[in-house]
């Protein structure tokens, strides 16, 4: 698909990713389709489970569109989970209420890694592509749709641990004790992520985002060995597919220069660095996405609006006085106990203040 | 107490904090007295609960000394909890197995803050000072004893949330919506922390550490408003008491220059920054403590030893070729499933490699 002929090409979001002038700073929010919306909770209750919802294209489409019906967001993001790829590799994804994702068959020994293969996008992950196609058909043609995947390191974390972890001790021990096996694992995951993102793009997702949620738990040396090179390979491969890519990473502040040099169109930044510093350090090589602390949504609408203005001005000041190249977002995902009215205030403030 | 006449004055640990030459780099480990030791688990089982152990000076003394009997560590650290101060302020600390600390009476409204007062060190916190006195009597006089407290921001986090949190939404909302009340809260906590640390010093703790565990969850602007100034006030007040102070903060990598300028003798650094960068950025103004990723203890002893050497060399290279001013430690605390043999390998490698 040549993006130039797509109605989204001139959208604020895609213009911002190309660092072109915009009438107002575009905004979307990580986990904008989620439990903070009563209509999401209703769909989920009817579906019976999170996974049922993610694996049923009509339901995934419905919840993807819900926040767009409420707020003038500048992008939709596919409703899915970052762990669909390892699930399709045979690890058996399941959820325990209140405990987060788990795998029935985590990788227990090096031999388990040898058996892994890139899953077939047309069968095991067909439901994702069907959801993308359906959402793209139902969504306003001028609103970009974002597809996504977990990063190789982040997927490896869950695949080795079998679920979430405070310390990621098993996966780090594997990296330390069996670096060759770890690289083999990251290699096959990277192949799968590239195929997965390319298939989402072909199905209609105009922008792609990689969530390196746990890269920031690595020391700089381990990040440079076990996360960054795989992100860079994904970026390089997707450039050929003409699909703009955003690399988001929680705790990636130390690595912004390296991420900006990766060739990605955008880098997602958490709230532990100012946008001023992030913009100054990346010197216009990429668009920057972020970076309001999600907890600011718990503040009063007036206090929240002030925080939004601070982020917008911080970016502009670090970017030589220009708002170009900024996609407003949170520094991480939303939470179930946030209030939709505060989201409305946030989106309104981004648009009205940046348009002045 | 004038520290110069104390037998610990010439210990590696205190020499390192003064950035004087040492025969080998000193090492201690955060949470070195803990569940990874079978003798700790036995003491805890006999005591019946964590709090009973922390509040009984003989038991606190016993578990403080346990790791020193196994490993040639360069310091002991008081066995206690960071939440003893709010407990003494009347909030009612308790623990639920597997859920971490909680308060029976968290701060629910601004009026709750008005009622807070600095607790009496001689009554409500007498058990801590008795433990310090007892440990100091039982411990090798040449081994320094570290006393500690949570930082004002970190204590406020638990006091407002009523326990741990992923997002710290309530305490951040308070800071955002009621900044004057938040500063009032931080002010009284800071007064209490200063009195608490000074009392521990008077009771025999030759070095003090402040754990700003959750300062790194703040945006730079909020860190500069709600955490850093209170750390600086603690440092200034304790300087008068001639008590060397270490400011540890998880996620404090962005703030190392500011922390080095605070006047503290040492700054504790987590593993998301190289010691090379930390040393270069702080330019010899403070000693640096850290910074091995605790998860490296899950690696094989050989791999672990290689990681220890990397940290030692990284510090030396960033510190103009000298090992002076480095206290080896983890970037965060130990975990229950770590192996004592690996701790032995770590301590041995620090001492033998740095002595070359």
Q: Which residue of A has its CA nearest to B223?
A: A272
**Distance between CA B189 and CA B19 in Å, rounded?**
31
**Lowest mean pLDDT across A5-9, A321-325, A343-347, B240-244:** B240-244
Q: Over the stretch B45-90, which tens digit does the pLDDT of each residue have?
A: 999 999 999 999 999 999 999 999 999 999 999 999 999 999 999 9
pLDDT of residue A302: 97
**Token match 């038991």: residue?**
B59
**Distance between CA B331 and CA B348 in Å, rounded?**
18
Q: Residue A191's pLDDT band (boundaries 50, 70, 90)?
A: very high
User: A349 pLDDT exceeds 70?
Assistant: yes
pLDDT of residue B228: 98
Catalytic residues of A: 31, 35, 44, 81, 158
Q: At what angle do helices B275-282 and B301-318 cross, to 10 degrees?
A: 20
**Measured CA angle at A69 (ends A68, A71), to 5 deg:** 60
Tokens of A287: 């668009």
Name B199's Cβ contacts closer than 8 Å, sequence gap at least 6.
B121, B125, B128, B129
Q: pTM, whole model, 2 decimals?
A: 0.96
Give contacts of B335 with chain A, Cβ < 8 Å. 166-167, 169
The mean pLDDT of A52-69, rounded to a whole number, is 98
**Distance between CA A52 and CA B67 in Å, rounded?**
50
pLDDT of residue B2: 65
Best probe of the B interface among A293, A307, A332, by most B CBs < 10 A, is A293
Alpha carbon of A164: minimum distance to chain B alpha carbons (Å): 13
Nearest CB among A177, A218, A273 relative to B300 is that of A177
Nearest to A118 by CA among A187, A198, A192, A195: A192
The mean pLDDT of B338-344, rounded to a whole number, is 98
Q: Are A153 and A227 in contact (CB under 8 A)?
A: yes
**Lowest mean pLDDT across A144-158, A164-178, A292-306, B1-15:** B1-15
User: A18 pLDDT exceeds 80?
Assistant: yes
pLDDT of residue B179: 97
User: A69 pLDDT exceeds 60?
Assistant: yes
**Distance between CA B167 and CA B306 in Å, rounded?**
35
Q: Residue A98's pLDDT band (boundaries 50, 70, 90)?
A: confident
Q: Over the stretch A256-286, which tens digit does the pLDDT of each residue have?
A: 999 999 999 999 999 999 999 999 999 999 9
Give contacts of A173 with chain B, Cβ < 8 Å. 295, 298-299
Alpha carbon of B295: minimum distance to chain A alpha carbons (Å): 5
Give contacts of B280 with chain A, Cβ < 8 Å. none
The mean pLDDT of B186-199, rounded to a whole number, is 98
**Above pLDDT 70, what percent of chain A?**
99
The mean pLDDT of A31-40, rounded to a whole number, is 97
Q: Residue B249's pLDDT band (boundaries 50, 70, 90)?
A: very high
Element of type H or E holding B111:
helix B110-114
Catalytic residues of B: 31, 35, 44, 81, 158
**Distance between CA A246 and CA A146 in Å, rounded?**
10
Q: Find the largest Cα–Cα distance for chain B.
A: 59
Give contacts of B177 with chain A, Cβ < 8 Å. 299-300, 303
Alpha carbon of A56: minimum distance to chain B alpha carbons (Å): 30
The mean pLDDT of B322-340, rounded to a whole number, is 97
Q: Residue B1's pLDDT band (boundaries 50, 70, 90)?
A: low
Interface contact flag, B295 A254, Cβ < 8 Å: no
Give contacts of A167 with chain B, Cβ < 8 Å. 294-295, 335
Interface contact flag, A310 B221, Cβ < 8 Å: yes
């Amino acid at each position: 698909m040549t993006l130039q002929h797509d109605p989204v090409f001139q959208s604020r979001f895609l213009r911002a990713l190309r660092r072109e002038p915009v009438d107002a700073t575009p905004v979307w929010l990580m986990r904008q389709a989620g439990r903070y919306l009563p209509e999401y909770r209703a769909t989920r209750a009817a579906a019976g489970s999170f996974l049922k919802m993610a694996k049923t294209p009509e339901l995934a489409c419905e919840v993807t569109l819900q926040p767009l019906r409420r707020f003038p967001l500048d992008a939709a993001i596919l409703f899915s989970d970052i762990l669909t790829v390892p699930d399709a590799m045979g690890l058996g994804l399941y959820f325990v209420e209140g405990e987060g994702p788990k795998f029935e068959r985590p990788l227990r020994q090096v031999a388990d890694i040898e058996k892994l293969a890139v899953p077939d996008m047309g069968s095991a992950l067909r439901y994702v592509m069907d959801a993308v196609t359906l959402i793209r058909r139902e969504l306003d043609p001028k609103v970009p749709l974002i597809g996504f995947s977990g990063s190789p390191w982040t997927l490896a974390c869950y695949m080795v641990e079998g679920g979430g972890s405070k310390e990621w001790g098993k996966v780090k021990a594997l990296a330390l004790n069996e670096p060759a096996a770890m690289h083999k694992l990251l290699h096959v995951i990277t192949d799968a992520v590239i195929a997965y993102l390319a298939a989402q793009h072909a199905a209609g997702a105009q922008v792609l985002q990689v969530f390196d949620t746990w890269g920031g738990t690595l020391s700089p040396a381990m990040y440079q060995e076990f996360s960054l090179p795989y992100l860079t390979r994904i970026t390089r491969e997707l450039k050929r597919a003409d699909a703009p890519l955003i690399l988001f990473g929680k705790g990636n502040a130390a690595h912004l220069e390296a991420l900006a040099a990766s060739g990605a169109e955008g880098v997602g930044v958490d709230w532990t660095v100012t946008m001023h510093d992030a913009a100054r350090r990346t010197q216009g090589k990429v668009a920057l996405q972020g970076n309001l602390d999600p907890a600011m949504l718990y503040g009063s609408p007036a206090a929240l609006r002030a925080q939004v203005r601070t982020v917008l001005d911080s970016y502009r000041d670090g970017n030589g006085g220009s708002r170009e190249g900024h996609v407003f977002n949170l520094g991480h995902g939303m939470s179930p106990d946030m209030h939709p009215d505060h989201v409305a205030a946030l989106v309104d403030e981004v648009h009205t203040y940046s348009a002045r």
